[in-house]
């Protein structure tokens, strides 16, 4: 089976982990601080705060900027459930806004009509590795004095006009789950240019503790370990190379599918850099099979294709109580999307196998 995702782990990571284990300094420490500094430098922010996973990063970031009980947070219905879970965990209410049919990201043109007196923040998701329209969203946030937090969990190295994901909002949140463009096994990171937000994040992730056993606020145990950070430092060194491999694979697949009727390849706006966390097709009625039939065919032929995501967050039973607005585009698109393997470990033979199954009539 050609896997949908595969972490690129080598001897460098193994050596780094062994060194930490032998040192006996396993939990949060110097290696975490080193990783934070390197991520901040890479993203172009002043600060980075490591967490134990991407969901924690979202919860900590939203809490640190002041989102709380009674607030409304505008977001997309097409994302991993962590996006909405984090909003609800703060006591706020998610407000779902429809998506753009080409980028699959939240549609800035529909955000303003969802703003109410209770709206506190906008939480755009850079889905599949393509950044949301942050230039337009930033203007809306400033116009209405709203907080802006990026869900950059899938967008390591993605850019708009050379400005990287995680550096556009008051805070950005990353995940380092094994399927991501870089991994620490589990792990997350918050990026920000605000010293106040950074200090709040550090407290919240560490039980609210400043100096040892001196507590300044309520917090959690959301700390990253030195072991995870050691992996992250080595992974970050490889990220650009791995992202270029993903882009090369995407270009190859785009070419092979350009004349395939009913198959839409990823659309990348001008001056955007797609990180290709996922390579997601749009299968319309002109294709010879339905999306689900193609999914079954791919799996039967040894290609681990996936649907991200089979259900809109707004349709989950525990989120139906929240404001969903009109989500006609999202409701249509989520029945058409299909993700194919795109990771750096794919061989030309793997890519040709994928193409053969999709293009075979």
Q: Where are the alpha helices (DSSP H) in the chain?
A: 11-23, 30-43, 54-65, 82-89, 134-143, 195-204, 226-257, 291-300, 328-333, 348-359
Give the whole-angstrom CA distance, residue 64 versus residue 195: 11
Phi, psi of 339 (to 5 degrees): -100, 135
Residue tagged 């991407």 (tokens): 54
Q: 95 with 121: CB under 8 angstroms?
A: no
232: closest CA among 74, 88, 40, 1?
40
Contact between residue 126 and residue 158 where contact means Cβ atoms under 8 Å apart:
yes
166 Cβ neighbours under 8 A, 6+ residues apart: 43, 45, 150, 152, 155, 172, 173, 174, 191
Contact criterion met (CB below 8 Å) for 319 and 84: yes
Q: What 3-state DSSP class applies to 180?
A: coil
Cα dihedral across residues 69, 127, 111, 332: positive or negative: negative
User: In terms of DSSP bridges, do strands 163-164 and 159-160 run parallel, antiparallel, or are they unpaired?
Assistant: antiparallel
189 vs 35: CA distance, rounded Å: 10
**Residues whose CB falls within 8 Å of the CB of residue 30, separated by 6 or more in sequence, listed in order:** 226
Active-site position among 31, 46, 139, 180: 180
Distance between CA 152 and CA 39 in Å, rounded? 13
Q: Can 180 be counted among the known catalytic residues? A: yes
- Give the residue numbers annotated as catalytic, written as ranges: 180
């Amino acid at each position: 089976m050609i896997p949908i995702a595969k972490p690129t782990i080598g001897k460098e990571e193994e050596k780094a982990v062994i060194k930490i284990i032998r040192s006996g300094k396993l939990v949060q420490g110097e290696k975490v601080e080193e990783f934070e500094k390197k991520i901040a430098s890479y993203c172009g922010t002043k600060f980075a705060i490591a967490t134990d996973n991407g969901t924690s990063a979202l919860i900590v970031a939203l809490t640190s900027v002041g989102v709380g009980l009674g607030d409304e947070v505008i977001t997309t219905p097409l994302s991993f459930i962590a996006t909405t879970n984090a909003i609800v965990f703060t006591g706020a209410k998610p407000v779902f806004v429809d998506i753009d049919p080409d980028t699959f990201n939240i549609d800035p043109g529909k955000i303003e009509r969802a703003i109410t007196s209770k709206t506190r923040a906008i939480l755009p998701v850079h889905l599949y590795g393509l950044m949301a329209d942050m230039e337009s969203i930033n203007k809306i946030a400033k116009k209405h004095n709203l907080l802006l937090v990026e869900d950059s969990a899938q967008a390591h190295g993605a850019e708009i006009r050379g400005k990287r994901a995680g550096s556009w909002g008051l805070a950005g949140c990353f995940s380092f789950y094994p399927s991501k463009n870089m991994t620490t096994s589990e792990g997350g990171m918050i990026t920000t240019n605000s010293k106040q937000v950074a200090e709040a994040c550090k407290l919240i992730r560490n039980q609210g503790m400043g100096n040892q056993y001196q507590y300044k606020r309520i917090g959690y145990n959301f700390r990253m370990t030195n072991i995870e950070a050691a992996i992250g430092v080595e992974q970050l060194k490889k990220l650009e190379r791995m992202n270029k491999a993903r882009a090369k694979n995407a270009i190859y697949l785009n070419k092979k599918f350009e004349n395939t009727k009913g198959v839409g390849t990823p659309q990348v706006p001008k001056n955007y850099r797609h990180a290709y966390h996922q390579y997601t097709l749009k299968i319309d009625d002109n294709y010879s099979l339905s999306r689900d039939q193609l999914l079954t065919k791919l799996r039967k032929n040894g290609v681990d294709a996936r649907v991200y995501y089979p259900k809109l967050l707004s349709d989950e039973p525990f989120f139906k109580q929240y404001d969903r607005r009109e989500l006609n585009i999202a409701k249509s698109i989520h029945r058409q999307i299909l993700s194919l393997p795109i990771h750096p470990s794919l061989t030309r033979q793997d890519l040709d196998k994928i193409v053969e199954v999709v293009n075979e009539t």
